[in-house]
Amino acid sequence: MRLHVPIRLRWADLDAYGHVNNTDMLRILEEARIEAFWATDDESAGSMAVLDGRPGASTLSLIARQEIEYLAPVPYLRRPLDVSMWLSRMGGASLDICYEVRSPLGDPQEESAQTLFARARTTLVLVDAETNRPRRISDLERAAWQPYVEEPVAFSRS
């Protein structure tokens, strides 16, 4: 099972090459993670959204590792990018999140052939905000995230 999260570009994500800067692609992934994992009172939140990520919350979600493959330059697009996400590993206190970033959904002539812009994987560690030490994934979190565990994203190079 994969979660699809639409993420909008900002004009300033483009650099002087006229493409989304390599760094801002990770910003896109960060926004997709928050949308997917952080609890909200919005009823439209997905079923993975059980992590209390508010500033001042008891858990910090820290990034331990990231890997990203850029397959095609991302031009400026008004419609949101289509970020699909799943998990490739759930450990004691950390998890591996995989992503595929594609051109926007909903464009009739594109539907059959979205461009795959990037593949990525992030290792995220849950950290107790008080002690600054990793804390275990709770049963609630594990149950919410388990349906999204799949094979890791396959990078072209390594």
Residues within the interface to its own copies (CB under 8 A): 8, 10-12, 14-18, 21-24, 26-27, 30-31, 34, 38, 40, 42, 54-56, 60, 62-70, 73, 75-76, 78-79, 123, 155, 157
CB atoms within 10 A of CB 102: 17
Q: Closest distance between its own copies and the C-beta of residue 43, in Å? A: 11
Backbone torsions φ then ψ of 85, nearest 5 degrees = -135, 145
Query: Please, what is the minimum distance in Å from the beta carbon of residue 2 to its own copies?
Result: 22
Closest contact distance (angstroms) between CB of 85 and its own copies is 16
Spatial separation of the C-alpha atoms in residues 28 and 26, rounded to whole Å: 5
Nearer to its own copies, 131 or 139 (CB): 131
SS3 track for 22-49: HHHHHHHHHHHHHHHHECCCCCCCCCCC
- Minimum Å gap between C-beta 120 and its own copies is 9
- Cα dihedral value 54, 59, 65, 71, nearest 10: -30
Q: Which is nearer to its own copies, 111 or 139 (CB)?
A: 111
